Structure 1
Amino acid sequence: MAIRIHKSGMFTTAQDLGRTQFLSSGVPQSGAMDSYSARMANLALNNDADAATLEFTYGGAEIEITEDLLIAYSGDGAKWKLGKESLPTNRPIALKKGDHIKLAPTSSGSRTYLATASGWDVPEVMGSRSTYLSAKFGGLDGRLIASEDQLKAKQPSDFQKNMLKYLLSQKRIYTNWCVTSGAHSASNPQTIRVTRGPEAGWFCDDEWRKWLANPFTVDRQSNRMGYTLKGSTIKKNDTNQELLSSAVSFGTIQITGSGLPILLMADCQTTGGYPRIAQVATVDLPICGQMKPGDQLIFKEITLIEAEKLYLAQESDFVAVKRAVNLKYEWI
């Protein structure tokens, strides 16, 4: 075993980048709510981007290390502490057997991702290790991580073994380098970039402009399936117009009968009957994943071409960081 959970925290699951192969069969994507942070934690360890991580919501978790272990973490939801020392994000951390770490909450986000060398050893189900709680599959027995659970790490690479040995031999807890993070802004309201959805034409230009101009607040009922947003309502051109169930995905914004939006998140269904007014740009989904009840957001329209360029630029950055991390591990 690699860790024993003494306190699981509020809402902890195993997640990778999601289950995308069965959307046409009605199986939700699931996966990390903040995929950027999950990838950064894995990058710091020279893992595959899709290696399983543990997603913690807020703080309160406590973990015992049961064998020498190389970890990394990322995300704005909380800070891991070893005794009184706060451990830094986005870099390899060497922990010894018997160490205890605690997760202290922050005010800037909601989710934190803990990675280990080669990923957490949980079963792959339908092409993913992500937990989908509603159907009780994926992750650790399709459920929340609980107190007294024990989790294993997969077999680390030789490079990762060498990094762990190096840090422990130097009596250092972590490296003096980190992977660069485009840290999520703590501004409130957050600006979320969107492209027009298939039913955007159901709303007149004046209504669309007003909708973009007014901030919305994340409601307390929000969860991994979707965020209910409070704020100004928007009216359809034809109030009798109805939509047959159509494809939706992580980041789709639907307008309910009340005129308020729902922002669909990682565990959302694959079809829905509300008009799809907009789609969040992929690069901004991680910002949404860090939001919590009471946070505000405002939507900004961009073109599909702009959204694609932002995505390609981010992927290019990941490739460059991966190359740099490879060199760090090969040097040890």
Structure 2
Amino acid sequence: MSIKIIKPGVFSTIQDLGRTQFLDQAVPISGVMDQVSAKIANLLVGNAVDAALIEIVDGNFEIITEEANLMALVSGYSFFKIENQEAPTNRPIFIPKGLKVQLENNINGRYSYLAIAGGWDVPQVLGSKSTFVTAAFGGYQGRRLQKGDDLASTRKLTNQNQILLENLKSETVNYPKWSIPAKQFLSNSNSVVRVVLGREFEWFEDLAFVDFTSKPYHLKDGNRMGYHLEGPKIIRKKSHQKELLSTAVLPGTIQVTGDGSLILLMTDCQTTGGYPRIAKVAEVDLPICAQLKSGKAIHFEIISLKEAEKLYLELQSDFQKLATAIQLKLE
């Protein structure tokens, strides 16, 4: 085995980029909440971007290495600890056997990602290794990680994995001077979230859109299924008081409840919903939403579908460039 879980934290699970092929059968996408951070973590150790990682909520997470490993921890916090000594996040790091690794807190976000060379070895279920705890399938035995769990890497190493290992292998903890923080790949302010208008946007008063785009919303509470946002109420037109039949929803869909409150659906959300959809968060800004801490404010900005698609393609191009840049650093 590669590691043993000593402290599992609040809610740590195995995730990859999720399963999109079964929405018509009411199976949620699941997968990582913050795809930018997760993809960077995988690239830092030489994995494909869709390799399985450990997703850690907030912190209080501790493991012990049972074998020497090449890992990367991508987090809003600038360091974690190895044997009570500070070690930097957001870069590949070689960790010898028998060392205690701790992430105490993530003060600048909610989700951190621990990648290992080769990816974590768990079975695929419906084409993905992601955990869907509600239905108890995927990931590690269909559940969150617990104290005493043993996890191993797949040992299926890419050329990039092997080059990184050869460069960093050492008798002691070893890592390069360079790092790649996830915030470099967020193309927008951490407080502005771009959205495309939803199918039922015409159901709402014009004044509601003034409030929606000019006043802040705060995270009240939430989980992997969705976030309740606190802010101005969104008022329906008198001509649109009817109930909506259940219709398709996705992570990033913003629904308006009967009392005018907003629900932002996240990666474990249901595949259909009965509340009107005022907007859909642009894919590139979902990581900003995922990392929201309770009480933190965001502002919505409406963009076109074409703009959202352009931003998405630019981000995918950036990841390809990042993979090339990491390879060049090792030559």
SS of residue in 1 equivalent to 2:254: strand
Aligned-residue offset at 1:184: 8.0
Structure 2 residues without counterparts, runs of 5 or longer: none
1:139-164 alpha-carbon deviations (Å, 9 max, x no partner): 00110000000001111335424432
Aligned-residue offset at 1:309: 1.3
Structure 1 residues without counterparts, runs of 5 or longer: none
Aligned-residue offset at 1:167: 1.9
Q: Provide the alpha-carbon RMSD of the alignment.
A: 2.0
Equivalent in the alignment of 2:111: 111
Question: Cα gap change, 1:159/1:37 in structure 2, threshold over 3 Å: closer, same or farther?
Answer: closer
Give the Cα–Cα distance (whole angstroms) in 1 for the partners of residues 261 and 254 of structure 2: 10
Equivalent in the alignment of 2:48: 48
Question: Cα gap change, 1:128/1:162 in structure 2, threshold over 3 Å: closer, same or farther?
Answer: same
Question: Residues 174-323 of structure 1 correspond to what in structure 2 (within 5 A)?
Answer: 174-179=175-180, 181-183=182-184, 190-220=191-221, 222-237=222-237, 238=239, 240-323=241-324
1:45-90 alpha-carbon deviations (Å, 9 max, x no partner): 1211100000000111111000010001213268421134332223
Residue 98 of structure 2 corresponds to residue 62 of structure 1: no
Question: Cα gap change, 1:79/1:224 in structure 2, threshold over 3 Å: closer, same or farther?
Answer: farther
Tell whether the 8 Å contact from 2:95 to 2:173 is kept in structure 1 after alignment.
Answer: no
The one-letter code matched in structure 2 to 1:56 is I
Tell whether the 8 Å contact from 1:65 to 1:99 is kept in structure 2 after alignment.
Answer: yes
Aligned-residue offset at 1:36: 0.6
Give the Cα–Cα distance (whole angstroms) in 2 for the partners of residues 317 and 56 of structure 1: 25
Tell whether the 8 Å contact from 1:60 to 1:102 is kept in structure 2 after alignment.
Answer: yes
Tell whether the 8 Å contact from 2:12 to 2:55 is kept in structure 1 after alignment.
Answer: yes
The one-letter code matched in structure 2 to 1:166 is N
SS of residue in 2 equivalent to 1:299: strand
SS of residue in 2 equivalent to 1:120: coil
Give the Cα–Cα distance (whole angstroms) in 2 for the partners of residues 75 and 166 of structure 1: 23
1:231-272 alpha-carbon deviations (Å, 9 max, x no partner): 111111135222111000000000000101100001000000
Give the Cα–Cα distance (whole angstroms) in 2 for the partners of residues 54 and 303 of structure 1: 34
1:286-321 alpha-carbon deviations (Å, 9 max, x no partner): 111111222221211111111111111111111111
Question: Cα gap change, 1:292/1:177 in structure 2, threshold over 3 Å: closer, same or farther?
Answer: same
1:164-208 alpha-carbon deviations (Å, 9 max, x no partner): 2432348551122334633488x9982111110000011132221
Give the Cα–Cα distance (whole angstroms) in 1 for the partners of residues 78 and 136 of structure 2: 27
Provide the TM-score with structure 2 as the length reference. Answer: 0.94
Equivalent in the alignment of 2:5: 5
Give the Cα–Cα distance (whole angstroms) in 2 for the partners of residues 10 and 300 of structure 1: 32
Moved more, 172-181 or 143-152: 172-181
Aligned-residue offset at 1:216: 1.3
SS of residue in 1 equivalent to 2:174: coil
Provide the TM-score with structure 1 as the length reference. Answer: 0.93
SS of residue in 1 equivalent to 2:323: helix
Question: Cα gap change, 1:302/1:158 in structure 2, threshold over 3 Å: closer, same or farther?
Answer: closer
Tell whether the 8 Å contact from 1:189 to 1:295 is kept in structure 2 after alignment.
Answer: no
Tell whether the 8 Å contact from 1:180 to 1:321 is kept in structure 2 after alignment.
Answer: no
User: Identity percentage over the alignment?
Assistant: 45
Aligned-residue offset at 1:132: 0.3
Equivalent in the alignment of 1:121: 121
Tell whether the 8 Å contact from 1:58 to 1:77 is kept in structure 2 after alignment.
Answer: no
Give the Cα–Cα distance (whole angstroms) in 2 for the partners of residues 143 and 180 of structure 1: 29
Equivalent in the alignment of 1:143: 143
The one-letter code matched in structure 2 to 1:299 is F
Question: Cα gap change, 1:181/1:211 in structure 2, threshold over 3 Å: closer, same or farther?
Answer: closer
